[in-house]
Amino acid sequence: MSYTVPSYFGRREFSLLLTGFADRTRDVRTFTSTRYEASVQLAQTPTPFTSFLYRYSFRRVLVDAATLKVSPDQIPLFSQPTKISSFGASWIRDRRDSPADATRGTFNTVDLSMAGRAIGSSATFLRFFIQNSSYHPFGRVLVFARSTRIGIEEPLGDSNAFDIPLPERFFAGGGSSLRGLGLNQAGPRDAKTGFPLGGLAMLLFNQEVRFPMRLPFLRVPLGGAVFYDAGNVFSRSNRITFRLRPPSPTDLNYFSHSIGMGFRYATPVGPVRLDLGYQLNPARFEFCENSATPTVPRCPAGQAVRTARLPRFQFFFAIGPSF
């Protein structure tokens, strides 16, 4: 539910937005969350291409303990109700010719927010996110599109990295980020279950060349793309690295590289996409599995360490631009 007040302060460039909503999500295989949120946002649009957003938001996130795949003994906060109270500001500059399917222009955004126990949050941390995307036509048919995304979270005061709730962390992997990795499968994993935990830092690079396709006997607005995605989610900002391989099967701080191709079908709301990705350097990771062999200290009784490798091939079906 939302309530909008245009021309706030009696000036056309300002508007006020009051919003409240409830959401139940199962988009990460490590948890199911229920989220309640209310926010107050003041938007300022000094030019047709530039916007500033100033907001206060309050979120209460509850993680269903029955769906939690991370050991509550290891990270107890993840199975408890969490309150996030934060102030934030965003700067957006959009000079794309079409947000649904850009062929030229740039898109930039910077977002900074801080949650604090002093204002009702269960943890104190700073969150920073920046995105820079550009679209360049070549000749009459080719478009080169690229995007860089950087995200950093830092605990403050008496909070530590484990206090930042799982739903508030960075996740990557999927049709709109790293197409050589499964949905939200990038980054650190729980040492016992092998499930992704998200991270406090993210660095992503996406590049693709888009072109029209002409199929015999078919007059449809079909296009193609070849792409290269690189990056990962990292445990902390000081663990961001460009190494090709992780240091160990329990430390997945490394730089992933993927290549692939895709097909696009143009619609009024954006392209319908089918992307096929191939990860060039999939990581191996360890987890605990039932076994009759003797266990190691970090595995529960009756379980032993097993090693698995991330899949090389992924495919995604989506509506809208990849970035």
Q: What is the extent of the structural domain holding 41?
A: 2-319
Overall domain count for the chain: 1
Q: Report pLDDT for 254.
A: 96
Rounded (5°) CA angle 146-102-147: 15
Taking Cα atoms as reference points, which of 303, 153, 138 lies closest to residue 240? 153
pLDDT in tens, 31-59: 677 888 999 999 999 999 999 999 999 98
Q: What pLDDT is stored for residue 30 in this prediction?
A: 66
pTM of the entire structure?
0.86
Average pLDDT over every residue of 276-295: 81
For residues 90 and 296, the model is more confident at: 90
- Residue in the block written with tokens 């039932």: 290
- Residue 61 near residue 32, CB atoms below 8 Å: no
**CATH code where residue 92 lies:** 2.40.160.50
Confidence at residue 46, expressed as pLDDT on a 0 to 100 scale: 95
Give the residue carrying structure tokens 């792409």: 227
- By C-alpha distance, which of 179, 171, 163 is closest to 201? 171
Q: How far apart are CA 261 and CA 167, in angstroms?
A: 31
For residues 198 and 188, is the Cβ–Cβ distance under 8 A? Answer: yes
Given a cut of 90, whether residue 90 has pLDDT beyond it is yes
The three-state secondary structure class of 120 is coil
Q: Model confidence over 143-153: pLDDT tens digits? A: 999 999 999 99
Is residue 219 scored above 80 in pLDDT?
Answer: no
With b meaning 16 or more CB within 10 Å and e meaning fewer, what string describes 36-66? eeebebbbeeeeeeebebebebbbbbbbeee
Q: How far is CA 164 from CA 81, 190, 318, in A?
A: 12, 15, 30
Return the closest-CA partner of residue 92 out of 48, 149, 55: 48
Q: How far is CA 86 from CA 38, 60, 113, 194, 237, in A?
A: 11, 12, 6, 31, 21
